[in-house]
Amino acid sequence: MQLENYNGLAALVTGASSGIGRELALRLAKEGARVALVARREAELETLASEIRSAGGEALVLPCDVAEADQVADVSRRALEAFGDIDILVNNAGYGGQSNFLDWDIEDMERMMRVNYFGTLYFTKALLPQMAARKKGWLVFISSVSGKIASPEKSAYAATKFAMTGLAEGLSLDLEVSGAGVHLLTVHPGVVRTPFFTDQMLEGMSEKTRSSMVEPEGLVDAIFGALAQGKRELTYPGGLSAGYIVKALAPNFLRKQVLRVTKK
């Protein structure tokens, strides 16, 4: 289902206070959508809302920890009260980390799953029914290339993104079978320059990985392009998707490539 005209549509973006989510929210507002902004840091959301309003757009600030089901339910209700419907849900809130599995704190591993995966699940459960009832809606899942191919010191993060990718793949089929009139786009970004990367993560990054870093604006352009074409999957930069084919056909070769590319 192609999406080209955003005028009059309402969107909710999680993780809108920074990086990719912030850029996506700005672009949605620029294209004419009303935008509900979700994240924990209210001050950052207010700054973004002011930017959107001063450009003539409409924004709603909804502070929320996406890992908390009751907060997600409350914020979804408030977004629906304010906008009537939500036509576009962008599940983007998330964080990463880098550690050998043995050193990774189990509480952080569990928390990461709650934020990256369960946050997505809670918002989708809360907002999909009104889309299906109207037979109109778009879900955008910001997964990761790490949701298709794992790499060293990313086990906990890759697990959250594989979970998100699996949910998206199954849900997309359910939507088609049930004729829900709702489209799902799963996005697999590579390495994008945002505050996602802590100094420690940047230090641990190989030169090869660092040099492949892209800007969030390019990713956002590609997401809007994919929605306009009715695509169901987007990997950005596109060349990375060659890895999926290599993984399927020659998994040991891909494994060696992953170890080579990520070696410091």
Out of 144, 172, 186, 235, name the contact with ligand NAP by CB under 6 A: 144
DSSP state of 2: -
Q: Which residues of 166-203 are buried (b: 16+ CB within 10 A; e: fewer)?
A: ebbeebbeebeeeebebbbbbbbbbbbebebbeeeeee
Out of 9, 11, 15, 98, name the contact with ligand NAP by CB under 6 A: 15
DSSP 66-129: TT-HHHHHHHHHHHHHHHS---EEEE---------GGGS-HHHHHHHHIIIIIHHHHHHHHHHH
Residue placing its CB nearer to ligand NAP in the complex, 48 or 175:
48
238 is a site residue for ligand NAP (CB under 6 A): no
* # binding residues, ligand NAP (CB under 6 A): 31
Residue placing its CB nearer to ligand NAP in the complex, 107 or 177:
107
Out of 94, 97, 137, 243, name the contact with ligand NAP by CB under 6 A: 94
**Separation CA 18–CA 158 (nearest Å):** 21
Q: Which of 136, 137, 192, 139 is nearest to 18 (CA)?
A: 192
**Separation CA 95–CA 201 (nearest Å):** 12
Scan residues 191-210 and list those touching ligand NAP (CB under 6 A).
191-192, 194-196
Query: How many helices (H) and strands (E) in the chain?
Result: 11, 7
98 is a site residue for ligand NAP (CB under 6 A): no
Stretch that binds ligand NAP, among 87-95, 233-241, 243-251, 254-262 (CB under 6 A): 87-95
Residue placing its CB nearer to ligand NAP in the complex, 113 or 254:
113
Beta-carbon contacts of 66 under 8 Å, excluding residues fewer than 6 positions away, are: 14, 15, 38, 72, 93, 115, 118, 119, 120, 122, 123
Stretch that binds ligand NAP, among 33-41, 77-85, 171-179, 223-231 (CB under 6 A): 33-41
Residue placing its CB nearer to ligand NAP in the complex, 62 or 180:
62
Active site residues: 157
Scan residues 113-132 and list those touching ligand NAP (CB under 6 A).
115-116
235 is a site residue for ligand NAP (CB under 6 A): no
Scan residues 154-193 and list those touching ligand NAP (CB under 6 A).
189, 191-192
65 is a site residue for ligand NAP (CB under 6 A): yes
Beta-carbon contacts of 82 under 8 Å, excluding residues fewer than 6 positions away, are: 36, 60
Query: Which residues are near ligand NAP by CB under 6 A?
Result: 14-21, 39-41, 44, 64-67, 92-96, 115-116, 142, 144, 189, 191-192, 194-196
